[in-house]
Structure 1
């Protein structure tokens, strides 16, 4: 793909730019420092299953839209109940762990490199408030960050990707969606975007049926590929 074909780069946030499980693990350990690693992983899985299932229900029309803040609080309450913690202050503190997510080592410098020559957008299922705090904690720098809250649904609903089209003022085929989740890239691809998969330990790897425009080991590799094709 030639770099001039791209007018803007759109980045997924959770998992792609920040290590979401690491932040939630830290919150679980703070809730109950006596937990061993296998138990922490069980509780992390409980959290993730709840949020993923709730978002799926919203997409399927099985429950009304609720922001990621509400879903994280629900998940935090499930985790707290599982370890016998009933203090609502502790539950609220655990829910906020979903906003204190460390960036991957290449993220901050990688974003800066892209932003030197192209408009850079974030596009996340996180709420507006959560996205603000995630960005601030991780040191993410955008030209603009967009939340699925603005259309009251979740990726991969086409309405979320349309946010980037509308804000950028560019047709989808001139936008490059970057994500560590194949399901997210499939949604962007269906909306007409160019796509780039970036491998992360917590991502959703492509299958043999997927055909994305670019595949990269990290943001540095992706930027190098675009440089070479320019």
Structure 2
């Protein structure tokens, strides 16, 4: 009886992802809070009952900006990613301390309720259908890419009733946006090149970071965010500038 020796050679190769519908774009990244979610209503509603009604919106907007400023300083100093709730509590403590006229309204319990409110937000009215159209009609993958914690993002997709293919948090990635490493790591994990990716955000800084690594960018204006940005300049910086997400899929397809 003849004996045969069979040698199997395993080659280490990887097939490139197939193009979807002939489009160059394959995946869309979304910033979450502000861009997709109405954080403002949640925070205004969670303020202490005795807090003056006329000052609630102003407080929420300024606290939000204080958070951005705090994080920007952390990034500048090269400090590691910090738990979102801890950061918000630190910023709230500092922010309230600077306002002695309202400091007495913020007990430890009141502060805890405010920080917890970030975990429960409604989606803006135009978001759910926009995301579903990207998935259903364009067959693109959609991701959340946002500073914050994974637990925060899990809570928010539940409270907002949104569906994404993956949630990328700064906690998970180990980098804050707009650091280039934050975008590059997500693309590497998903095996995409920047020319195949679009970043959608209501924050100009997020999009500047995305554009710096070669991603296409779509700015969606939300009145409660980017309160210090020159919107005319922001419009010129990005591949598209929208007042809402009602025709987001068509705009991205045309980039």
Q: TM-score range, shorter-chain basis? A: 0.7 to 0.9
Q: Does 1:154 align with 2:173?
A: no
2:72 to 56, 79, 99: 56
Q: What's 1:191 paired with? A: 213
Contact 1:75 1:95 (8 Å CA) reproduced: no
Partner of 2:42: 23
Structure 1 residue runs of 4 or more that deviate by more than 6 Å after TM superposition = none
Match of 1:171 in 2: 193
Matched, 1:89 2:89: no
- 5+ unaligned residues in a row in structure 1: which ranges? none
Counterpart residue number, 1:109:
129
Distance of aligned partners of 1:34 and 1:209 in 2 relative to their CA distance in 1, 3 Å threshold: closer
In the other structure, the counterpart of 2:84 is: 68
Contact residue 70 and residue 91 of structure 2 kept, 8 A: no
Shift of 1:131: 1.0
SS at match of 2:122: coil
Deviation at 1:54, TM superposition (A): 1.6
> What TM-score do you get using the length of structure 1 for normalisation?
0.87
Question: How far, CA to CA, are the matches of 2:235 and 2:245 in structure 1?
Answer: 23
Q: Deviations over 1:53-92 (max 9, x none)?
A: 2201211117553122211122344566644145433321
- Larger helix fraction of residues: 1
In structure 2, runs of 5+ residues without a counterpart are: 1-20
Question: 1:94/1:203 Cα in 2 relative to 1: closer, same or farther (>3 Å)?
Answer: closer
2:31 is the alignment partner of 1:12: yes
Report which stretch shifted further, 107-116 or 41-50: 41-50
CA shift, 1:13, in A, is 0.6
Q: Which moved more, 1:215-224 or 1:73-82?
A: 73-82
On the 8 A contact 2:219/2:235 being kept in 1, the answer is: no
SS in 2 for 1:59: helix
CA distance in structure 2 between the partners assigned to 1:3 and 1:180 by the alignment: 28
Counterpart of 1:142 in structure 2 is 164
**Matching residue of 1:215:** 241
Contact 1:58 1:153 in 2 (8 A): no
Give the distance between the partners of 1:180 and 1:202, measured in 2 at CA. 9
* Contact 1:122-1:142 within 8 A present in 2 as well: yes
Q: Is the 8 A contact 2:50 2:105 kept in 1?
A: no
Match of residue 41, structure 1, among 57, 64, 67: 57
Distance in 1 separating the partners of 2:84 and 2:50: 28
TM-score relative to the length of structure 2: 0.79
Alignment RMSD = 2.4
Distance 1:206 1:175, change over 3 A: farther
Larger radius of gyration: 2
- Name the stretch that deviates more: 72-81 or 3-12: 72-81
- Residue 177 of structure 1 contacts residue 185 of structure 1 at CA under 8 Å; is this kept in 2? yes
